[in-house]
Structure 1
């Protein structure tokens, strides 16, 4: 059985020029090159032998002075390069594109000379790719380097957690060879299988203490069901720190394989959070969730010094290029985009705080708009869990000149409302009673979420209102984004309105009235009403509304109290509160209130006068109507000779003629006639 760390391979000390393949020599002669090893002189390597070298191989800035026949016997690539060259005596070859670089070629050359080569997790991937590049196949000689390295990968590396991590990390400099040879895929699946295994069934050396020797979990030995050697339970996030050292593309491969294995989405989200906090400096500065975000009990174990990452750190991995200090803007954008694409679709797999900080980093890194929109939808799904500090995302658009991205918060609220509406209409296959119970519970949950979002929005409005570049329209639209039912109390809105008025003292009276429309004076508490009554920044009309609404509430409270209790002591404090409220009102507002009361009394008096005049006119109209009805009856009873009106006029004309023909001396008699005539005429028209 091979050792889990290293394996020595070699091919003897006698090499021939035969072996076929790639245009190699077919001579049966077997020249021998005996050596005791390689020695380095400056930037060049020499074979420790008495035979002078006849081939120089240059790889980057390192030169190798070798012999042709040991290389030709096992490398098809060298056969083609030498024998298909136009030069008759080719004695110098450049292989700058060899994967693994000079280190891998040194091991391959030693293998060709029969020098023992120690295979380990740190060199196996580069040596495997170099063997593929040099075409060291079984067609040239049995037990060639490809076979040896492939066997070591399959039977040693993939059975070890630590070796799989180290090999996958070493593949970062071997693209695309490591991908084409399936090294990345096999290591990712091996890591995923081990991460998804039940920790209770794993016998491993879990180190809360320094390890004396570099070792790995014994994945082949599952008989011991004890969680660890010292009895400490294995945390569910034990693998976070190890996989977080990987490059983002390999981390994505591992997480994708873990998803296929069926790991809990909360653990996957916690691993993504831990990776982001480590690789994104701006995200970590805002305050990380820790490596175990949402993982019960074991979320911080990696910070306490326990776990396999300590074993890996004790190895020979001196490459510190993965540290965040070496990050570039392009790499940071790629990390953010990759993390967004692998976040599980479940609602609570990651915290809303993490999503908002990731969104802030995405806007700063200019991530693709489609991914930003997707991230905004994720935030909207759980916006009620957000914190105000995480919602204050700076505005990176220089055209608007705003401190915070108000439009972004507006979009988050829209996504939240769409999600609430979708969840409210989600149940389809339920009985009437079940649907009724579900609707009641869902309505309570939605209302609670809306209340939390409303409080969050009020706090956000108070913060952004201090920005003098924030327009009144943007403030008003954002304040009215939520429905009326989302706020049971408007104290938060009043605080935001007052803060906006304080930061924008040049607002006109019309603009101040328009601003105050976003709040309802009837939903203010007694403390807010007392503050508003003394707030000289508010329009006078709003102050009057506040006082009136408070008076109405006090009256209602008195009425309700009087119905419950007969004693007057119960509502006495309310009266004193009203008195205190009025006494605390500024003198200017008291004078305005007195003037308004005088105008109201005048209007009441004028209204009463109009009502009295209207009653008189109504009585006159009723009298005329009755007279008209009587005249109509008289018309019906008159004879065919004429109406009462015509007979009256005839009598009047006759009386006139009699008056003209009479003597002056009969003036008294005529006077009596004249007096009787009008009376008879009045009787006729009545």
Structure 2
């Protein structure tokens, strides 16, 4: 006989079987750790369950329990009264008390809190329909099917109570049915539900599933957020939470909601995983029998017992295994903090590798604090540099896979690709390059970081990912500060990781005065800056020539010189002064050369006049022949220097006028 009683909290049922005419009782009364039946007939059966004694009668239990029937029959031959010990009974003394009351015909209040234990106890005691119609198994099963599974709150409570009933609750399919019921309700359309859930100011503590109710219309009810079920599901133990999430996946819920539920669960069971928990800004969540461990911030691995370490390791491994495969279902910051705990607690290597691949898929979303993962199992470096190296490798593999994917729509030409890149902002590789430069600057302060590891990590990304090497320069300079004992060869090797031509003016200004850098690197920096200034001046001059008819422009040369470091301006002025000095010396030497040539022409003319007064045959002598050859050579030289001279007598004058102008043109 069923009697319903609504309590506004999921409901309860009074279970009152037919009483036996042969035994009348007014109920049970407890004295210390013993229960006694209020009856005129003395008890002839003593049952001990978990340290609690029950003074009962044989007949009520024999008529409804198959197991008690066998046990009492076997023990009755030995002693009187019979003693039965049931230490392995699921549900403990509480469940046996309810079962015993049911056998005596006393009304039993079935609730979501006791139904799972009573159902397992009924199965243990073999209270089947073969002994009596309407036995305890049938009635508890009916309550589970028609009352519990139709209520959101009751399903959560029953699944929570199954934690202490393994493996009975699993074998009786209580866990499976409750998990599917929770998954169905979590995926249901909230428009047909009058919601009442944890974390919301509601009069009732459980939703009522009656879509025909007028109160369930969206216009009359407060809108339900998509994460309404997170808080309720997060109270479950990790294995039951996995069952619920798996069932929700089968129902087809959006993967970003599943990922958000996983992150919410991790923030509850692993308070040290959240930034707020690590800083002490948020109160840790606790519940009876659950994990209340802070593994980061104020706590450490040394503060945990072996049992707590195993529990947390199981939580982390289970969460990794149920994260949806889609990208961005959880944040990269969450994955990195989970990876930090996984390394500290020595999670299975296969799951750690899977987690590293997930981080590599969205490494461009990471931040520097989350990337600074301590080296828990190594004493060489403060931070786990090898882990970051592996994350970069996974990122590059993922980028290469996405770029070569056949489903990726190619760009028709280079211009459209560049326009798309400009529209979408810096790409993933550029963001990862900036993150890596910041990471290198931070870890370079570690004196135990070897030059090889620094160099390998700095060269992990292609050169095309960096448009500016200022970040690398800061990392190199920081490494030089922390490692003052490097040799000259090691300093040159370290500076090879950066490109001097990609440094900004400020970085070049700092590098020109940096005594820690090798001299060769400083020269390369100055030379590359000089080349950039010259190219900028040339391009600015060309731009002024083209746009002079449209708008006035400010001289780019003056801007560059004003933005150039003082040392570069002084060097440029000294170079110009040297060039002018060389020009003056060349002009002076050219003038002296022309004077000597003029004097030689005058001597030649005088010699010809003297020789013309004598016969030509007598004047032919080795001396005169040599002068003639010298004169011809001089004239050939003068003609080579002065193209198109009209007369020999005016050669010196024309050379004097044209020679300096041609030298100025050649020098300029």
Partner residue in 2 for 1:385: 365
Rate the CA distance shift 1:430–1:266 in 2: closer, same or farther, 3 A.
closer
Whether 1:555 and 2:555 are equivalent positions in the alignment is no
Cα deviation for residue 33 of structure 1 reads: 1.7
Whether contact under 8 Å (1:277, 1:288) holds in the other structure is no
Partner residue in 1 for 2:392: 413
Whether 1:395 and 2:386 are equivalent positions in the alignment is no
Q: 1:222-261 to 2 correspondence within 5 Å?
A: 222-224=212-214, 226=216, 231-261=221-251
Whether contact under 8 Å (2:198, 2:205) holds in the other structure is no
Partner residue in 2 for 1:306: none
Partner residue in 1 for 2:288: 320
TM-score, with structure 1 as normaliser:
0.75
Whether contact under 8 Å (1:465, 1:499) holds in the other structure is yes
Whether contact under 8 Å (1:201, 1:225) holds in the other structure is no
Count of residue correspondences: 548
Cα deviation for residue 51 of structure 1 reads: 1.0
Whether contact under 8 Å (2:194, 2:210) holds in the other structure is no
Whether 1:494 and 2:463 are equivalent positions in the alignment is no
Secondary structure of 2:556's aligned partner: coil
- What CA distance in whole angstroms lies between the structure 1 residues aligned with 2:208 and 2:137? 27
Partner residue in 2 for 1:572: 558
- What CA distance in whole angstroms lies between the structure 1 residues aligned with 2:325 and 2:355? 11
Q: 1:147-166 to 2 correspondence within 5 Å?
A: 147-166=138-157
Whether contact under 8 Å (2:272, 2:293) holds in the other structure is no
User: 2:568 pairs with 575, 578, 582, which one?
Assistant: 582
Whether contact under 8 Å (1:158, 1:190) holds in the other structure is yes
Give the number of the structure with larger relative contact order, counting CA–CA contacts within 8 Å between residues 6 or more apart: 1
Rate the CA distance shift 1:527–1:437 in 2: closer, same or farther, 3 A.
closer
Whether contact under 8 Å (1:159, 1:220) holds in the other structure is no
Whether 1:338 and 2:318 are equivalent positions in the alignment is yes
Whether contact under 8 Å (1:410, 1:481) holds in the other structure is yes
Secondary structure of 1:84's aligned partner: helix
- What CA distance in whole angstroms lies between the structure 1 residues aligned with 2:77 and 2:263? 58
Cα deviation for residue 227 of structure 1 reads: 5.9
- What CA distance in whole angstroms lies between the structure 2 residues aligned with 1:282 and 1:206? 26
TM-score, with structure 2 as normaliser:
0.77
Partner residue in 2 for 1:43: 33
Partner residue in 2 for 1:617: none
Cα deviation for residue 79 of structure 1 reads: 0.9
Cα deviation for residue 188 of structure 1 reads: 0.2
Secondary structure of 1:571's aligned partner: helix
Rate the CA distance shift 1:500–1:255 in 2: closer, same or farther, 3 A.
same
- What CA distance in whole angstroms lies between the structure 1 residues aligned with 2:321 and 2:200? 37
Secondary structure of 1:258's aligned partner: helix
1:178-212 deviations in Å (ceiling 9; x for gaps): 00000000000000000001112212346877555
Cα deviation for residue 5 of structure 1 reads: 1.4
- What CA distance in whole angstroms lies between the structure 1 residues aligned with 2:374 and 2:171? 43
Whether contact under 8 Å (2:380, 2:448) holds in the other structure is yes
Partner residue in 2 for 1:194: 185
Gaps of 5+ in 1: 16-31, 290-302, 304-312, 602-686
Partner residue in 2 for 1:659: none
Rate the CA distance shift 1:365–1:429 in 2: closer, same or farther, 3 A.
closer
- What CA distance in whole angstroms lies between the structure 2 residues aligned with 1:227 and 1:517? 69
Whether 1:177 and 2:177 are equivalent positions in the alignment is no
Computed over aligned residues only, the root mean square deviation of the Cα atoms, in angstroms, reads 3.1
Gaps of 5+ in 2: 295-303, 546-552, 583-668
Whether contact under 8 Å (2:197, 2:228) holds in the other structure is no
Q: Which runs of 4+ in 1 moved over 2 A?
A: 1-4, 84-90, 204-212, 220-232, 284-289, 428-447, 566-570, 575-579, 581-585
Cα deviation for residue 397 of structure 1 reads: 1.9
1:661-681 deviations in Å (ceiling 9; x for gaps): xxxxxxxxxxxxxxxxxxxxx
Cα deviation for residue 257 of structure 1 reads: 0.3
Partner residue in 2 for 1:129: 120
Whether contact under 8 Å (1:283, 1:358) holds in the other structure is yes
Rate the CA distance shift 1:430–1:485 in 2: closer, same or farther, 3 A.
closer
Whether contact under 8 Å (1:352, 1:383) holds in the other structure is yes
Partner residue in 2 for 1:667: none
Secondary structure of 2:64's aligned partner: coil
- What CA distance in whole angstroms lies between the structure 2 residues aligned with 1:176 and 1:479? 53
1:30-76 deviations in Å (ceiling 9; x for gaps): xx221111000000100011111111000111110100110010000
- What CA distance in whole angstroms lies between the structure 2 residues aligned with 1:62 and 1:584? 98
Whether contact under 8 Å (2:509, 2:565) holds in the other structure is no
